[in-house]
Amino acid sequence: MTGWSAYILALALFVASHFLPRIGGLRERLIGVVGRRAYFAVYGGLSLALLVWVIAAAGRAPYVALWPQMPWMRWLPNLAMPLAAMLVTCGAGVASPATLGGARKAPFDPQAPGFAALSRHPLFLALALWSGSHLVVNGDLAHVILFASFVVMAIAAIPAFDARARRVMGPQSDVFFANTAIFSVAPLFRPSWRASNGRRMALRALLGLALWMGALHLHGLVIGVSPFPV
């Protein structure tokens, strides 16, 4: 199998794994058979394995330059990734009924929206930041296809999941959307929000920064390319 063939196969399987389970209620039937926790554990592991394969296959694909890498471009991932990491750690389990990594069982409390007041789609925003910043700095065809695909998926998912939230919540969706945002820093300046969420979110933000620092220093070893600006 050539470099391009392996890359196209890996990318096709990764994309298919995110759309095929939603066709014909397949995901719901599988959850009914094995349980929600087991399904998402297996699905998460499969998605991670396919993601690693796609990234590795992109690196082995024939190099076709579309634009040169300029020294300033390397600053973009280094500025975007700390925020992306904090969005992941702070937003995991966000009080949103329809989003990636959201807490769907607990009823939404408009008086205590938690991190959803800052963002009801933190993981999608993190994915867009990661892929968008890496798209700019990787100007070869294989990586442009890879990162542009993730940018499109992340951006397209936000209105799609918002539409799902309206269907799931019904008349209560007006209150939900009035007290949440796609992204807003305004709650950080509200004493009431900080009193309820400040300490917990600060600890999660520090965890995100620690994970980012670890990924930054392991990037060259794992990916084979130094992320530091030259």
Domain boundaries of the chain, sorted by first residue = 1-62, 63-223
Q: How many CB atoms lie within 10 A of CB 62?
A: 11
Tell me the average pLDDT of the chain.
88
Q: Report how far residue 117's alpha carbon sits from residue 94's, in angstroms, rounded to the nearest whole number.
A: 10
Mean pLDDT computed over 23-47: 81
**pLDDT score of 134 more than 60:** yes
- Rounded to an integer, the average pLDDT of 191-220 is 93
Neighbours of 21 (CB within 10 A): 17
Mean pLDDT of 120-144: 95
**Does residue 166 or residue 3 have the better pLDDT?**
166
Residue 105's pLDDT band (boundaries 50, 70, 90)?
Answer: low
Q: Name the β-bridge partners of 65.
A: 140
Work out the number of other CB atoms within 10 angstroms of the CB of residue 49.
Answer: 12
Mean pLDDT (whole number) for 195-215: 94
Which of 75, 73, 56, 64 has its CA nearest to residue 7? 56
Compute the distance between CA of residue 26 and CA of residue 20 in angstroms, rounded to an integer: 8
Task: Specify the pTM.
Answer: 0.88
Per-residue pLDDT at 1 exceeds 60: no
Give residue 227's region: left, alpha or beta (phi > 0; psi -120 to 50): alpha
Q: Of 127, 128, 113, 136, whose CA–CA distance to 184 is shortest?
A: 113
Q: d(Cα 90, Cα 94) in Å, to the nearest integer?
A: 8
What pLDDT does 191 receive? Answer: 93
Instruction: Locate 25 and state its tokens.
Output: 């209620």
Residue 46: other Cβ atoms inside 10 A: 13
167: alpha, beta or left, given left = phi > 0 and alpha = psi -120 to 50? Answer: alpha
- Answer yes or no: are the C-beta atoms of 10 and 60 closer than 8 Å: no
pLDDT over 70 for what percent of the chain?
97
